[in-house]
Amino acid sequence: MENKFLTSSGIEISRVYNQAADAAPPPGEYPFTRGIHKDMYRGRLWTMRQYAGFGSSKETNKRLRWLLEQGQTGLSTAFDLPTQIGLDADDPKAAGEVGRVGVHIGALQDMEGLFEGIDLASVSTSLTINATAPVLLAFYVATAKRRGIPLERLRGTLQNDILKEYLARGTYIFPLEPSLRLVTDTIVYANRHLPAFHPISISGYHIREAGSNAVQEIAFTFANAEAYIRRVLERGLPVDEFAPKLAFFFGCHNHFLEEIAKFRAARKLWARLMREDFGARDPKSCQLRFHVQTCGSTLTSQQPQNNVIRVALQAMAAVLGGCQSLHTNSYDEALALPSQKAAELALRSQQILAHETGIPDSVDPVAGSYAVEALTTEILRRAEAALSQIRSMGGMTAAIAAGYPQKEIESEAYRSQKEIESGEKSVVGVNCYRPEGRAKEQEIPLLKISPKIEAGQVKKLAAFKKRRDGSKASRALDALQKAASNQSENLFPYILAAVENSASLGEIIGALKRVFGEYKA
């Protein structure tokens, strides 16, 4: 017998509410506007991930284990800038950045330390990394192999979305074509050897953080997805073999109704795209599975406690929109990396939403709302038009080369900033409701990264290189460089071999640079 879900007054909550005029198929049925699962959160709550990473692997390991103790249900790792762009800690260009905005992972020993005491066979791990994604996944796979964990038991997601780096973030390394090759090689390898792992998370979040609007976020993300799908199809994989493992990552901004409608429109557009344009027949290929992070760009350094309310409302919109995984930002993130106290409060906001509000009791409870349904339809229409514009240019890679999406995002960001500066758009505590005569903002305790972290990491890397068999590492790097010159080779096994033979991140990327060169904007 199905459990009953009751309000505090004893009123039973129906699984799904319908109105007579509502022609949308029920949740769990194509085109999945109302959710990809029949029971949604009644059957299983969304995965609660708190993005974490700072300093060395030892410091971040403590935070990850603490978050799991607090009830977090999935791990999400942030990497520092040198790791993102393939620099070892002793590289002069890494000076001052090691461990600053994420954890530094420069060698296999760092990845092993990051997950010390954490069972990789029982936890889902998200690796938020792009240009160096194949190397970081290789570190993760090698760590699991050393522990004797079968690769088919590894669960998680690799971001591995390089196109959005050219659009929005800028942490690219190689020119566009070899970058796409690495993405595709990783997807193909994972499809064969990591059946429970999502080898790519196509990210609209960073597009939104760069200044796009909700419609552009969907359209540009799906245009990126089309580029990846076509590359994998060219390798001979049938669409229904790999499409069910494609994951997505969206932001959730401040306009409550628009964000709910955005997620519903995105599900419908993705389902149509997969069935009608790519011929997918497996319903799972048409289901848009996505992680949501509340938007850091909406947080303010002025009156930072106000961010608690912003984050809670964005999280509620994400849940009402039907996300599968959620990260809630900490209130102090406009000032520094999250303190433990702020991270705990951010996680508690999800837990309160899940266990105290009753929102998860009904599937798509906003369905039938005139405002939400109308916004869903309009966002869908505009996103289709924007996606068609990208297609007319020859797809996203051609559009990037022409600078089109970059200019669209910049224009939208400029327009939004002008509205804030003019007061047309209100930001509480920044351009309105700011008490006069306040000498300074209320101080809050912030997480500070010790400058000793960098020196320690350099010393640790030197000891690692001294202990290893240098000839084995050199041979593995030479094999990788040779394979990179052969377009028919999948590079991931060579990267994994280099990792297992104790090559560092910087050495692996250096070998590839000698063949691919570097991208200059």
- What pLDDT score does 12 carry? 83
Residue 364, CB half-sphere, CA atoms under 13 Å: how many?
29
| Short-list 482, 450, 513, 509, CA closest to 107 | 509
Q: Which two tokens stand for residue 328?
A: 């809630």
Per-residue pLDDT in tens (0 to 9) along the chain, 521 residues: 567 877 665 778 777 777 644 567 899 999 999 999 999 999 999 999 988 899 999 999 999 999 999 999 889 999 999 999 999 999 999 999 999 999 999 999 999 999 999 999 999 999 999 999 999 999 999 999 999 999 999 999 999 999 999 999 999 999 999 999 999 999 999 999 999 999 999 999 999 999 999 999 999 999 999 999 999 999 999 999 999 999 999 999 999 999 999 999 999 999 999 999 999 999 999 999 999 999 999 999 999 999 999 999 999 999 999 999 999 999 999 999 999 999 999 999 999 999 999 999 999 999 999 889 999 999 999 999 999 999 999 999 999 999 999 999 999 999 999 999 999 999 999 999 987 755 455 678 888 888 899 999 999 999 999 999 999 999 999 999 999 999 999 999 999 999 999 999 999 999 999 999 999 88
In angstroms, the CA 123 to CA 108 distance is 19
- What pLDDT score does 32 carry? 96
Strands 124-128 and 290-294: unpaired
In angstroms, the CA 390 to CA 223 distance is 7
- What pLDDT score does 13 carry? 73
| Short-list 295, 275, 292, CA closest to 284 | 275
Domain ranges of the chain: 40-422
- What pLDDT score does 3 carry? 79
Q: What SS3 class is residue 310?
A: helix
Q: How far is CA 329 from the centre of its chain?
A: 13
In angstroms, the CA 110 to CA 116 distance is 10
- What pLDDT score does 24 carry? 78
The DSSP output letter for 156 is E
- What pLDDT score does 451 carry? 86
Q: Which two tokens stand for residue 452?
A: 């000793």
- What pLDDT score does 411 carry? 96
Which long-range CB contacts under 8 A does 371-374 form with residues at least 24 apart?
371/257, 372/257, 372/260, 372/261, 372/264
Buried b (16+ CB within 10 A) or exposed e, 71-102: ebbbbbbbbbbbbbbbbbbbbeebeebbbbbb
DSSP class per residue in 178-233: HHHHHHHHHHHHHHHH-TTEE-EEEESHHHHHTT--HHHHHHHHHHHHHHHHHHHH
Residues paired with 12 in a beta bridge: 6
Q: What are phi and psi of 446, to 5 degrees?
A: -120, 150
| Short-list 518, 500, 508, CA closest to 135 | 508
- What pLDDT score does 7 carry? 65
Q: How far is CA 139 from the centre of its chain?
A: 19
DSSP class per residue in 333-371: TTTSSPPHHHHHHHHHHHHHHHHTS-GGGSBSTTTT-HH
- What pLDDT score does 21 carry? 42
Number of H helices, E strands in the chain: 19, 9
Residue 481, CB half-sphere, CA atoms under 13 Å: how many?
16
- What pLDDT score does 73 carry? 87
Q: Which two tokens stand for residue 73?
A: 């249900």
> For residues 288 and 322, is the Cβ–Cβ distance under 8 A?
no
Residue 356 CB neighbours (<10 A): 8
In angstroms, the CA 126 to CA 158 distance is 6
pTM of the model: 0.94
> For residues 338 and 330, is the Cβ–Cβ distance under 8 A?
yes
Residues paired with 79 in a beta bridge: 103
**CATH number for domain 40-422, candidates 3.40.640.10, 3.10.100.10, 3.20.20.240, 1.20.210.10:** 3.20.20.240
The DSSP output letter for 90 is T
